[in-house]
Structure 1
Amino acid sequence: MPRASPRARSSDVALRDDTSTDARAGANVGERATSSASFGDLQLDERLTRALRAAGFDAPSPVQLACVPLGRFGCDVIAQAKSGTGKTMTFVVIALERVDAGRRRTQALALAPTRECAVQTHECFVEMIEKFKDMDGDARGGIETCLLVGGLPVKEDRARLASQPHVVVGTPGRTRQMLEEGSMACDGARLLILDEADALLSGTFERDVLFAYSMLPERKQVCAFSATYSKTLLGDLERLMRAPQKVMLCESTTALQGVRQFYSLIEKEDGTKLADVITAKEARLLKICGDVSFHQAVVFVRRLAWGEALAKRLTSQGLKAAFTAGTLPQERRMKVMEEMRNFQLRVLVSTDLTARGVDLTHVNLVINLDVPPSGATYMHRIGRTGRFGTYGLAVAVLTADELEQLR
């Protein structure tokens, strides 16, 4: 488990005004596009460059500079880059370059571990395609996409797949279902994208991902993206690829440079009840939210009942909040994320459902009220802030025993 450094006791995390200023915004050139790089360096056609600029991308990030040329030429790629540095747009550009808009067959499949990640990736594809529609005569404006996620009507998925959309974005379970029943034709697919590959190839997702991999043609391009990889996972990925090109941009540390990390200790004596610890943590959370100047915050918890109750208590204290978790209905999860993106919420209370792959532009404060299950999860959690070169704060509210686990 990575250490929360620099560290501060709760009296220090009372957060002086200069710390709250750090939470607002700023540029961190080391993890964002620099003025010395341009999309021209990637040899992209002029219309794709225009589409990227219209979507708000003025210059490529380091992961885009390194991976897009490899992906365009059909190389298998294993890319490691920190959260919030442009991995999603990297593979969106690769896919748009590789897909033949005039050939109405499913040509690219992008898998993501959560519905939230899949929805976000699909939205990126749609946004870029909409930019092409504004350009007369660009066939890429006619690229069709399809989103496959659980919790939504299967009948609608079947109807969309019947037209053989060029690009399919999905979660492993629903994608496998569509492949098994024959609703998704994949004989024309030549590109498989694994977003958050470390999550896809572990736990319950692995079998579904490998099934999808086996259903696609043998000759296909595979591109994997994540902020964290184990040695075992790298070996597993290499066996799925042909001479993969590795782009490892954060092997030494996956922590974003613009994220300042603190912990705040909660006193717990022998015999202290869990309910008392929770009450103390909530009081500390409210103090932090009162002392820090922030736009939006994400608060991570592991207990579903606590998350629901905490969101209601925060709202009653004037911090409009909502709770999301993988056990909730899909429509509710999507509504919560939409409200968060539209700045209708100040605080998102969440399980690790949103710990990875989700881009919430205005979040500059992350608070951990529970110890994450692994070091990788901790890094993904705090990666919800400090994205695209901005600054943010991450605070872990812990007992002394939990601090030892975090270390």
Structure 2
Amino acid sequence: MIRQDIHNEVPCPKVLILAPTREIAVQIGDLINVLTMGWENFSCYKAIGGTKVSDDVEQLYHSQIVVGTPGRIVCLLEMNFLKPQSIRLFVLDECDKLMEENFKIQIDKIYNRLPANKQMIVTSATMSTEMTEYLTKYMRDPALIRMNADKPSLIGVAQYTLMVDGHCLDYMNFESKIDPLLELLDTIQFNQCFVFLNYQTRVKYLYERLNSKGLSVIHITGDMSQKERLKTIEMFRSQRFKIFISTDLTSRGIDIESVNLVINIDVPNDCETYLHRIGRAGRYGSSGLAITMVGRDSNECDKFSTTLSQYNLETKRLHLPLTVDLWENFRRENSHSPNELPSSSSTTTLK
């Protein structure tokens, strides 16, 4: 549709794509630029916060695709820089995140400014029944395409649980996981690794601990400037560092092919976040390992069991020191069924 219009009409925005974070918006824009390389008279405009609204407005006027975050798109519409009348396709990427309360008002403002006859597409790795019902506010008789909705296991990612002693006090529970983390990083062979935590103070603390050990580590937090965040992701993407420590800021949509290990230091707050986190490994048809550390003497056992049971997920149990080669085990268990995850002998009940 877009390519046909290029030769028939004056260039102007035809497609509007929304993403919940600047990092995902930039990645989508970069991918579009790669896919359309060589197209004549074509441009994709990336509208993200952290830069001046007036920057590159001339490019916006002549771009066929605009991809950005809700806040910046609302700003462009209200300042009359983005002309919505020509939009024919409206896309919500990571829709479940965009439908959270902090985005809903902005999504409503954008939707109400767009033409009534536009086409709309929403995408997400996780989408609840409630979310599907809410989307009827924006879409008439939508066609739903779901892949293995009852058990959305990630093909190519072997999921493990590592029980540690833990502690009833939250900060002590976190501290009890650092030595086991170091042992995992020293024992498991990996290309690149994501380490996820729930708080940016912990991200900074863990970065200092691992960096002091001489590990190849980099980190990202929400209080960094946009320029710093994008530079950090690009340095990791170019494989200048092996370990990336982050909050859930990068748990969605960041695709780095060389990542084949994900470690959850903090148990995710819900199953959707868990699936998005471990989905950073095993991209583009590759294989990956996902390990979640659970404190035995904390409330994490029940929390993680509830998280897994939501989508009937199962994990295998790890013990330190590791007595098996996880990659060899992965290959052996997949040798007869290459398109399935290794079968799990454990249940979702943790003790």
1:255 corresponding residue in structure 2: 153
One-letter code aligned to 1:301: L
One-letter code aligned to 1:181: M
- Aligned partners of 2:75 and 2:215: how far apart in 1? 40
Deviation, structure 1 residue 337: 0.5
2:279 corresponding residue in structure 1: 383
TM-score, with normalisation over the residues of structure 1? Answer: 0.71
Would you say how many aligned residue pairs link Structure 1 and Structure 2?
302
Deviation, structure 1 residue 160: 3.0
- Aligned partners of 1:281 and 1:141: how far apart in 2? 53
- 1:258-281 C-alpha deviation (Å, 9 max, x unpaired): 1111111221355xx544433321
Give the secondary structure class of the aligned counterpart of 2:161: strand
Give the secondary structure class of the aligned counterpart of 2:32: helix
Structure 1 residue 402 corresponds to structure 2 residue 300: yes
Structure 1 residue 224 corresponds to structure 2 residue 130: no
- 1:331-357 C-alpha deviation (Å, 9 max, x unpaired): 110011101110011011111011111
Which of 55, 63, 67 does residue 156 from structure 1 map onto? Answer: 55
Which of 83, 90, 98 does residue 185 from structure 1 map onto? Answer: 83
Quick one: structure 1 residues 358 and 244, their matched pair in 2 at CA, closer, same or farther if it must change by over 3 Å?
A: same
1:266 corresponding residue in structure 2: 164
- 1:283-312 C-alpha deviation (Å, 9 max, x unpaired): 111110111100000000112122012123
1:363 corresponding residue in structure 2: 259
Deviation, structure 1 residue 235: 1.3
Q: List runs of 5+ in structure 1 lacking aligned partners.
A: 1-94, 134-139
Which of 33, 40, 50 does residue 126 from structure 1 map onto? Answer: 33
Which of 221, 228, 239 does residue 332 from structure 1 map onto? Answer: 228
Deviation, structure 1 residue 99: 4.8
One-letter code aligned to 2:176: A
Q: Is contact 1:164-1:184 (8 Å) kept?
A: no
Moved more, 318-327 or 109-118: 318-327
Give the secondary structure class of the aligned counterpart of 2:144: strand
Q: List runs of 5+ in structure 2 lacking aligned partners.
A: 306-351
Give the ranges of 4+ consecutive aligned residues of structure 1 lying more than 6 Å apart after TM superposition.
none
- Aligned partners of 2:231 and 2:107: how far apart in 1? 27
Q: Is contact 1:158-1:178 (8 Å) kept?
A: no
Higher relative contact order structure (alpha carbons within 8 Å, sequence separation ≥ 6) = 1
- Aligned partners of 1:275 and 1:403: how far apart in 2? 16
Quick one: structure 1 residues 105 and 286, their matched pair in 2 at CA, closer, same or farther if it must change by over 3 Å?
A: same
- Aligned partners of 1:294 and 1:264: how far apart in 2? 17
- 1:105-134 C-alpha deviation (Å, 9 max, x unpaired): 11100000111110110001111121xx1x
Structure 1 residue 100 corresponds to structure 2 residue 6: yes
2:143 corresponding residue in structure 1: 245
Quick one: structure 1 residues 326 and 160, their matched pair in 2 at CA, closer, same or farther if it must change by over 3 Å?
A: farther
TM-score, with normalisation over the residues of structure 2? Answer: 0.82
Q: Is contact 1:176-1:211 (8 Å) kept?
A: yes
Deviation, structure 1 residue 97: 5.2
- Aligned partners of 2:21 and 2:167: how far apart in 1? 38
- Aligned partners of 1:229 and 1:275: how far apart in 2? 32
Quick one: structure 1 residues 98 and 192, their matched pair in 2 at CA, closer, same or farther if it must change by over 3 Å?
A: farther
- 1:28-64 C-alpha deviation (Å, 9 max, x unpaired): xxxxxxxxxxxxxxxxxxxxxxxxxxxxxxxxxxxxx
Instruction: Please give the root-mean-square deviation of Cα atoms over the aligned residues, in Å.
Output: 1.7
One-letter code aligned to 1:287: E
Give the secondary structure class of the aligned counterpart of 2:204: helix
One-letter code aligned to 1:367: I
Quick one: structure 1 residues 105 and 150, their matched pair in 2 at CA, closer, same or farther if it must change by over 3 Å?
A: same
One-letter code aligned to 2:50: G
2:44 corresponding residue in structure 1: 145
- Aligned partners of 2:101 and 2:228: how far apart in 1? 25
- 1:122-158 C-alpha deviation (Å, 9 max, x unpaired): 001111121xx1xxxxxx3321111011112222053
Q: Is contact 1:255-1:383 (8 Å) kept?
A: no
1:392 corresponding residue in structure 2: 288
Deviation, structure 1 residue 391: 1.2
Which runs of structure 2 are paired with 1:194-343 in the superposition (5 Å)? Answer: 194-269=92-167, 273-343=169-239
- Aligned partners of 1:183 and 1:160: how far apart in 2? 11
1:31 corresponding residue in structure 2: none
Deviation, structure 1 residue 231: 1.0
Deviation, structure 1 residue 313: 2.3
Q: Is contact 1:191-1:222 (8 Å) kept?
A: yes
Give the secondary structure class of the aligned counterpart of 1:204: helix
Give the secondary structure class of the aligned counterpart of 2:189: coil
- Aligned partners of 1:227 and 1:206: how far apart in 2? 19
Q: Is contact 1:367-1:396 (8 Å) kept?
A: yes
Deviation, structure 1 residue 102: 4.2
Q: Is contact 1:101-1:143 (8 Å) kept?
A: no
Deviation, structure 1 residue 239: 3.1
